[in-house]
Amino acid sequence: MNLPDLLQLSGGYWSTCTLHAGVKLDIFTCLTDSAMTTPELARQLSADERGLGMLLHALTALELLHKEENTFRSTAFSATYLSKKSDSYMGHIIMHHHHLVEGWSRLDEAVLRGEPVRQRLSHEALERERESFLMGMFNLASLNAPRIASALELSGHRRMLDLAGGPGTYAIHFCLHNPDLTAVVYDLPTTRPFAEQTIRHFGLSERITFQAGDVLSDRFGTGYDLVWISHLLHSESPADSATVVAKAAESLADGGRLLIQEFILDNTKTAPLFPALFSLNMLLGTRAGQSYTQQELFALMNTAGLCEVNRLSLDLPNGAGVMTGTACR
């Protein structure tokens, strides 16, 4: 690293906060169908003209808006991913990132205390964050789920458990790619409305059901050909992760498969970069969560009695990987 890179690293949050403000104010939706001047958009948003003008110019500098004479319009890219009128809208995950900023600004406190520092929220604010988180997970999973589902050979699999499945994105895409597959999305009761709405949107209500429960204290059922656990273990301690994996293994039929997706560290824990940073994100928001190494995930699955444990050859972003193991009884 050189000095310019260091300063860019230090001040990079300026661009991040500019993007977050644009999404929070829904500027890209407003400017998708027609160009508007700053005063026109300020009236629509009940915003200050001076402040809005500065934001619009900064978003243009980031190549997220296009300016022609005195009017602004969304670019093709921002209209696709940042407008609520688009089926590819990614604003939910961006707002989830926005909600994490306050905690990250107190990372030094979390390191000294070894515990979460995120502030307690009002019920209304908590509901907004929950929606951003769940639909943000839908945003992210929608990028990877079709790729993973098409890469897996699931012929002969009939019953799937999507454990802590949130809005059911993976269950949906696995079922879309495998017509004989049915699925259960298992998550907390508060997740049910989001899951059932998403499942209904894809026309899969007859093949995918929702089961409410707690992954640590409740049972999952038995006889599943496939159990999918995506980005759950990093929220839990090693001991609780072992409990979840053991219970998942017990829910498999003989010969059934357990698949675990995580942001996976190498065994030195110094790379890849994203899982290393994500471990800090868990420090900020959970009591004992962390990113796990491939070796640690292997150990969890072997201890649960699974055989043929290995990592699938998949090229996924942000250091993500999928581990697989088979129930051999």
pLDDT one-digit tens code per residue, 118-142: 776 555 656 677 778 888 888 888 8
pLDDT above 60: residue 304: yes
The pLDDT of residue 136 is 84
Inter-residue contact 67 to 55 (CB < 8 Å): no
H and E: helices and strands count for the chain: 14, 11
- Asked if 234 is an active-site residue, the reply is yes
Residue with tokens 């990113």: 291
pLDDT above 60: residue 265: yes
- Between helices 273-285 and 91-104, what is the axis angle to 10°? 70
pLDDT tens per residue across span 218-263:
999 999 999 999 999 999 999 999 999 999 999 999 999 999 999 9
**Nearest CA-CA partner of 161 in 217, 225, 243:** 225
**Mean pLDDT score, 274-292:** 97
Q: Which CATH architecture has domain 123-327?
A: 3-Layer(aba) Sandwich (3.40)
The pLDDT of residue 126 is 63
First to last CA, the chain: 52
Residue 294 falls in which region: left (phi positive, over 0), alpha (psi -120 to 50) or beta: alpha
The pLDDT of residue 122 is 55
Share of the chain above pLDDT 90, in %: 90
Domains in the chain: boundaries = 3-88, 123-327
pLDDT tens per residue across span 155-192:
889 999 999 999 999 999 999 999 999 999 999 999 99
pTM for the structure as a whole: 0.92
> Please, what's the largest Cα pairwise distance for the chain?
71
d(CA 280, CA 61): 31
For the chain, the 3-state helix, strand and coil shares in percent, each to the nearest 5, are 50, 20, 30
d(CA 265, CA 295): 9
Q: What is the SS3 assignment for 187?
A: strand
Q: What angle do CA 235, 285, 226 make, to 5 degrees?
A: 20
d(CA 45, CA 42): 5
Inter-residue contact 251 to 222 (CB < 8 Å): yes
Residue type, 202: F
List the CATH code of the domain at 3-88. Answer: 1.10.10.10
**Ramachandran angles phi, psi of 64, nearest 5°:** -105, -15
Which of the residues 92, 98, 157, 234 is marked catalytic? Answer: 234
Inter-residue contact 102 to 119 (CB < 8 Å): yes
- Between helices 91-104 and 13-24, what is the axis angle to 10°? 130
d(CA 247, CA 268): 28
Residue type, 255: G
The pLDDT of residue 127 is 67
Q: What is the SS3 assignment for 108?
A: helix
pLDDT above 60: residue 293: yes
